Amino acid sequence: MQDEQEGKMLTGIYFVENSSYIKWFNEQGADVHSDENITHYMFVTINDVVDVFSSESPSSSLIEWEADQ
């Protein structure tokens, strides 16, 4: 992923195609889930990277938040 972005990790929500992580997951789980349509999503923030495997598409909404002053 960073190769595609010239070494930079950009914030956002990504759909990971041909995920080596899902291949590894299936190998570790003796291919129990290999017949399911699992998708790898990656959520990238300034401080975190969260990988999610799901057979359902995610939904999102914008929540406005104000810090206490």
pLDDT tens, position by position, 17-64:
888 888 888 888 777 777 778 889 998 888 888 999 888 887 878 888
β-sheet with 39-44: strand ranges across: 12-16, 39-44, 49-54
- Long-range residue pairs from 53-60, CB within 8 A, at least 24 positions apart, any chain: 53/21, 53/22, 53/25, 58/13, 60/13
Question: Which residues are within 8 A (CB) of 45 and not within 5 positions of it... i.e. 6 or more apart?
Answer: 11
Going by the DSSP 8-state scheme, the letter that residue 47 receives in this structure is S
Q: What is the pTM of this model?
A: 0.64
